Amino acid sequence: MLILLDIDGVMVPSTPWKQPEILDDGFMQFSHKACIALNKIIEETNANILLTTSHKSSYSLTRWKEIFNERNITVQKIMKLNDNVNYLNRRDEITNWFQHLSKQMPFVIIDDDKSLNALPKNLKAKLIQTSSTIGLTQELAKEAIDNLHSQELIIA
């Protein structure tokens, strides 16, 4: 199982009146509630993370793992979409990734990007869309878990 994960508006709510706190590692503090929600998804599904965030190329995968660990998020494996050298929008990045997926696997897309509402129907069904000012919640975590488990039944 896989979580295609954005950071801004998911793990770090966007509040225009307040700058996000930067931790000693140089990256933004994740919302405590979002961390709890993400850990719940990971614990209940054993999902790995595929970073879709615009920050994905800012750090190596080893450093990303450290960033998540420092925020008390325990995930077995972190991957990232390829560098966006063609300046594609998020919808096209995800669509291209899916077209090159070699095997069927359960995944969800957790993102606040409204352009993802235009994803093809089969991908939009996997979208868990956050409110950018709130981020990932327990309710959305349950929706993601249910979505992943229902896909698992179809693939099995």
What is each CA distance from 97 to 51, 65, 100, in whole angstroms?
12, 21, 5
Write down the pLDDT at residue 18.
Answer: 82
Is the pLDDT at 146 greater than 90? The verdict is yes
What is the band of 130 on the pLDDT scale with cuts at 50, 70, 90?
A: very high
Helices (H) and strands (E) in the chain, counts: 5, 5
Token pair 């897309």 is found at 109
Query: Of all helices (H) and strands (E), which one includes residue 41?
Result: helix 32-45
Structural domains of the chain, count: 1
Residue 58's domain comprises 2-155
Could you tell me if 28 and 36 are in contact, meaning their C-beta atoms sit under 8 angstroms apart? no
Between 52-66, 78-92, 132-146, the lowest mean confidence (pLDDT) is in 78-92
Sheet holding 78-80, edge to edge: 78-80, 48-51, 2-5, 107-111, 127-129
Phi, psi of 153 (to 5 degrees): -65, -35
Write down the pLDDT at residue 156.
Answer: 54
Write down the pLDDT at residue 86.
Answer: 77
Between 12-21, 45-54, 59-68, 69-78, the lowest mean confidence (pLDDT) is in 12-21
Q: What is the CATH number of the domain that holds 120?
A: 3.40.50.1000
Task: Give SS3 for 46.
Answer: coil
pLDDT single digits (tens) 1-25: 999 999 999 999 998 788 889 999 9
Token pair 């359960």 is found at 106
| Burial classification of residue 59, based on how many CB atoms lie within 10 Å of its CB (0-12 exposed, 13-18 middle, 19 or more buried) | middle
